[in-house]
Structure 1
Amino acid sequence: MRVAYLACELTLPDSPERRPDAFEHDQMADCLSDAFALHGHEIAAMSWDDATVDWSEFDAALIGSTWDYQDRPDAFLARLAHIESETRLFNPSTLVRWNSRKTYLRDLEADGVRTVPTLWLDTSGETDVRQAFDALGSDDIVLKRQVGANAEGQFRLKRGDPVPAMPHPMMAQTFLPAIRTEGELSFIFIDGDFSHALVKSAAESDYRIQSSYGGRERAHSPSPGDMAGAAAVIDSLEDAPLYARVDMVRGADGDLLLMELELIEPFLYPLQGKGLGPRIHDALVRRLS
């Protein structure tokens, strides 16, 4: 079995201008390469927008560290459709298209998933933001791009703060203090089955939990109640994806709320889930058999 691992130019090892978080790409590549090699299989990392690749030479393609897709979403989705016409793609392009715009949270909420209170903003000027504070009933909100990743173009604002320029469609969410105290809880699922969990904590002077901003993570054993909440998110999907990361934060009532469901290019934290590589390999073999 030969599998393509879709990356982007700025995460590949030979890039002259690698992203500071590209070490996460390396961790996933090592994890998968070791697991695949044990069975005589190969996984090869390459940029998703490399027009010279013949995707039909691969038995499948896994979307990995394609961490620039949010700036070229139409080109990205078109390339995935092309790749899918030549080989099996995981996760499939229909699921990626749905998950690429964070309005998918409205669909999950309609299906009974508890989400962080969110307001959807097509424009984000002074009046829009002021109304968002009122609509959410909060003096502390976070504004994110509806198509975004790695907290790029994201702002935490308190009532009365200057409103920065936000040229993209945005979403406003109530800032939940638990992100600073307990942290964000992430649950990794492979082929619908729970793999491992972790807690992601922000640096002392920040609230963002990504490594690019000084975030750190540790393995976590979730309570039965928290585990059930994360599993319910996966169960709400029509079909179990090959891989998924459920990011949750605790609400004021003590229950977890869905922050985001990552189905496109999530980092799956192999250092906190020692059996991740074999789980992905075996799940992929089952899908292809």
Structure 2
Amino acid sequence: MTEIAVLTPSPSDPSYAGQWPGVLERLQQALALAGVTAAPTPWPDHVDDASALTGYPLVLPLLAWGYHRDHALWMKGCRAWAEAGVRLLNPPSVLGWNSDKSYLGRLAEQGVAIPPTLWIDGPSQADVDAAFDRLGAEEIVVKPRVSGGAWKTLRLRPGEAMADAPGGPAMIQPYLPTIETEGETSLLFFGGRLSHVVNKRPVPGEFRVQVQYGGGYTALPAPADGALDLAERTLTAIGEDLLYARIDMARGPDGGWLLMEAELIEPDFYLGTAPAGGQRFADAVRSRL
């Protein structure tokens, strides 16, 4: 068996203590299909000294949850891992730029469809109040540009005040009602090839699709019309050699697909819904070894 490393949350951050071990177990079960074992190690432990990671033939950042809580430390780590020559996939450079959602604006400039977006540094209540007219929206969503798991993401109607507002660079988008009726769709790619498709829906009265907010996930037999086209256009615009990618999208008011996220750092692969328990993920990892 070949041993690789998987970066995990900081032990001092209890936010994910009840969740990440189960995700790690699914990853380990999938990797075992390719004769690979995965040793967990907290990502903050390797920021100042990356030497312990250089001995692994491959390091996966798939459980580096919590990086958004200390983004400066994360960026320092990305630089350190690149300088030390850690065999990290996806690459440290990708882990850096993908941690700030402003990358969506750069993809939009290359023709990838995203929701109309206002980019604001430290949004004030006045910024929020003006956003409804600027976007022509009845409801808006305010989220930090560096975030994860819908952290500090707000859904607001006119006249509502921000609570727990993002303190730094943020983005404001129209709320998409299709999230409630059709949900969000994720296309999972391993080694550049589509593996599986998952539809994620919030519980009634909620707009966040994450499982911690009660979201439900359903495997789809194939992408809906137009979804694969947007995903492939996104990957082409990214132009990186990626081991894995999760492309999240939702339908806009006109029925067209809009990119919500290109998750290239630590996405949940929903391996419980993947063909053969994640065999394509395991094969992609083995091909890099």
Q: Same fold (TM over 0.5)?
A: yes
Q: Does 1:180 align with 2:175?
A: no
Residue 227 (structure 1) aligns with: 228
Are the counterparts in 2 of residues 27 and 270 from structure 1 also a CA contact under 8 Å? no
1:208-249 CA-partner distances (Å, limit 9, x unpaired): 000111111000132242222222211222124111111101
Residue 137 (structure 2) aligns with: 138
Residue 287 (structure 1) aligns with: 288
Q: Quote the offset at 1:182 in angstroms.
A: 0.4
- Bigger shift: 241-250 or 47-56? 47-56
What is the rounded CA distance, in whole Å, between the counterparts of 1:262 and 1:235 in structure 2?
15
Amino acid at match of 1:135: R
Residue 155 (structure 2) aligns with: 156
Matches within 5 A, 1:108-257: 108-164=107-163, 165-220=165-220, 221-257=222-258
Residue 57 (structure 2) aligns with: 59
What is the rounded CA distance, in whole Å, between the counterparts of 1:272 and 1:199 in structure 2?
11
What is the rounded CA distance, in whole Å, between the counterparts of 2:132 and 2:18 in structure 1?
33
1:25-56 CA-partner distances (Å, limit 9, x unpaired): 34442333234334443211111012487112
What is the TM-score when the length of structure 1 is the normalising length?
Answer: 0.90
What is the rounded CA distance, in whole Å, between the counterparts of 1:229 and 1:16 in structure 2?
36
Amino acid at match of 2:9: C
Cα distance change on mapping 1:16 and 1:98 into 2, 3 Å: closer
Residue 89 (structure 2) aligns with: 90
Q: Does 1:32 align with 2:27?
A: yes
1:229-278 CA-partner distances (Å, limit 9, x unpaired): 22221122212411111110101111110011111111111011134633
Q: Quote the offset at 1:5 in angstroms.
A: 0.6
Amino acid at match of 2:235: I
Amino acid at match of 1:110: E
What is the rounded CA distance, in whole Å, between the counterparts of 2:133 and 2:13 in structure 1?
46
What SS does the aligned partner of 1:44 have? strand
Residue 81 (structure 1) aligns with: 79
Cα distance change on mapping 1:77 and 1:275 into 2, 3 Å: farther
Amino acid at match of 1:19: Y
- Bigger shift: 69-78 or 232-241? 232-241
What is the aligned-residue identity percentage?
Answer: 35
What SS does the aligned partner of 1:162 have? coil
What is the rounded CA distance, in whole Å, between the counterparts of 2:104 and 2:159 in structure 1?
28
What is the rounded CA distance, in whole Å, between the counterparts of 1:37 and 1:17 in structure 2?
28
Q: Does 1:261 align with 2:262?
A: yes
What is the rounded CA distance, in whole Å, between the counterparts of 1:9 and 1:275 in structure 2?
31
Structure 1 runs not aligned, ≥5 long: none
Cα distance change on mapping 1:39 and 1:203 into 2, 3 Å: closer
Structure 2 runs not aligned, ≥5 long: none
1:4-30 CA-partner distances (Å, limit 9, x unpaired): 1111035xxxx89462761xx344423
What is the rounded CA distance, in whole Å, between the counterparts of 2:230 and 2:31 in structure 1?
32
